[in-house]
Amino acid sequence: MAVENELLHFCKGLERSFVMNRPKASESKLTRDSKSRVPYRPPYGKLFMIKNKKRCPWVPENDSLYTAYHDTEWGVVVHDDNKIFEYLILESAQAGLSWRIVLHKRYNYKKAFANFNPKKVAKFTDGDVAKLLMNAGIIRNRQKIIATINNAQKFLEIQKEFGSFSSYIWKFVKDKPILHELRQLADYPKDIPEAVILASDLKKRGFKFLGPTVIYAHMQATGMVNDHTIDCFRHKEVSSQHKKR
């Protein structure tokens, strides 16, 4: 699938209040679906591909989809349970692979896993597993697929216990994002103590494929940690959003 089409699918996850007209192929602005519910309220009102900006050193220069993800989602605080569940699905699928691979399959995962609805995924049957193993649009790993269904069931148990999964997971950072001051790629740790503790608790509760490294990636993505490098244009923007909360 062409990057342009993937961008259109990606933007179906953007907030209703920032609906834009569908761009022509030559335009760089991202579209969004008025019926979608996803990640992020841009601080600048309109979302578009921002050029000539300093970004984190891990952002590939030739991947518009990845760049848009960095510029609009990564590090932004997430409290919506369905969105948290989406990231848990994608990040557990990433285990042992690159995030770039998973990101480019994101829309396929959305279709395959019931629009990232944990209640529906928790009810998947052996027949659903068989269908998913035939789906070339996702990572066809039986253990990861079964783990996703298991994790959906455990996710619902935590919601019942704590009222929401967000209430549970954010207590591991005392309901306040951790702000790191990273300067280069070498400064990024494999994990952090909070991720180790959270991963251990999730394991005790029966979750699979969510070790400390994967959980740390989840914390970075959902704004529990601001790991934009200090020279990245998003570092200050994300930090200011945290302070407004």
pLDDT, tens digit (0-9, with 9 covering 90-100), for 139-180: 999 999 999 999 999 999 999 999 999 999 999 999 999 999
Residue 194 designated active-site: no
88 or 243, which is more confident?
88
Mean pLDDT taken over the chain = 83
Q: For the segment 186-225, what is each residue's pLDDT rounded down to a tens digit?
A: 999 999 999 999 999 999 999 999 999 999 999 999 999 9
Q: Identify whether the C-beta of residue 50 lies closer than 8 Å to the C-beta of residue 62.
A: no
Residues in the chain: 245
Q: For the segment 63-103, what is each residue's pLDDT rounded down to a tens digit?
A: 999 999 999 999 999 999 999 999 999 999 998 888 999 99
pLDDT of residue 49: 54
pLDDT of residue 241: 73
pLDDT of residue 134: 97
pLDDT of residue 73: 95
Residue 69 designated active-site: yes
pLDDT of residue 96: 83
Taking 80 as the threshold, does the pLDDT of residue 18 lie above it? no
Residue 15 designated active-site: no
Q: Which of 15, 58, 99, 237 is catalytic?
A: 99
Q: Find, among 100, 101, 116, 103, the residue nearest to 37 by Cα.
A: 116
* Residue percentage of the chain with pLDDT more than 90: 73
Domains recognised in the chain with CATH numbers: 81-226 (1.10.340.30)
Phi/psi at 27 (nearest 5 deg)? -85, 150
Q: State mean pLDDT over 56-65.
A: 92
Question: Alpha-carbon torsion 28, 66, 84, 180, what sign?
Answer: negative
Question: Does the reported pTM lie above 0.75?
Answer: yes
Q: How confident is the model at residue 240 (pLDDT cuts 50, 70, 90)?
A: confident
Q: Identify whether the C-beta of residue 186 lies closer than 8 Å to the C-beta of residue 41.
A: no
Q: Which of 40, 69, 170, 216 is catalytic?
A: 69
Q: State mean pLDDT over 48-69.
A: 86
Q: Which of 6, 73, 91, 194 is catalytic?
A: 91
Determine whether 106 is exposed, middle or buried from the number of CB atoms within 10 Å of its CB (0-12, 13-18, 19+).
buried
